[in-house]
Amino acid sequence: GALVYQYPRRTICKSGTSMRMECQAVGFQATSVAWYRQSPQKTFELIALSTVNSAIKYEQNFTQEKFPISHPNLSFSSMTVLNAYLEDRGLYLCGARGQSSYEQYFGPGTRLTVL
């Protein structure tokens, strides 16, 4: 079946430092990968959508300079949170979608704590 892995599951970083998180689709070819942040208030924010053969599209309030994303192939995507501060804390979810379905499969998330 289709699975999405994310690692690390939890990470703690000091304010002003950066951390990288990874997302891997297993069992299907991820034609698009979306990164979300779920805030402590539980709302979902779409950070960016990465589609194969297209440029990565960032949503308002999110930039490539702050959240650079690499999507080198159909199975793997990584995102870095640069210069993390308190407002960047939350659960970062990766959602991947295959060729034949609208359904987006989510990984378990990377929980970022900023000290």
Partner 1 sequence: GDSVTQTEGLVTVTEGLPVKLNCTYQTTYLTIAFFWYVQYLNEAPQVLLKSSTDNKRTEHQGFHATLHKSSSSFHLQKSSAQLSDSALYYCAYTGKLIFGLGTTLQVQP
Which residues are at the interface with partner 1 (CB under 8 A)?
Answer: 34, 36, 42-44, 46, 49, 93, 95, 97, 102-104, 106-109
- Which residue lies nearer to partner 1 by CB, 14 or 102? 102
SS3 60: coil
Q: How many CB atoms lie within 10 A of CB 18?
A: 12
CB of 38 to partner 1, least distance (A): 9
CB of 68 to partner 1, least distance (A): 20
CB of 31 to partner 1, least distance (A): 13
- Which residue lies nearer to partner 1 by CB, 9 or 16? 9
Bridge partners, 77 (sequence order): 23
- Which residue lies nearer to partner 1 by CB, 7 or 44? 44
What is the C-alpha separation between 38 and 93, in angstroms, rounded?
A: 7
- Which residue lies nearer to partner 1 by CB, 3 or 115? 3
What is the C-alpha separation between 74 and 25, in angstroms, rounded?
A: 8
CB of 44 to partner 1, least distance (A): 4
- Per-residue burial over 40-57, b if 16 or more Cβ lie within 10 Å, else e, is eeeeeebbbbbeeeeebe
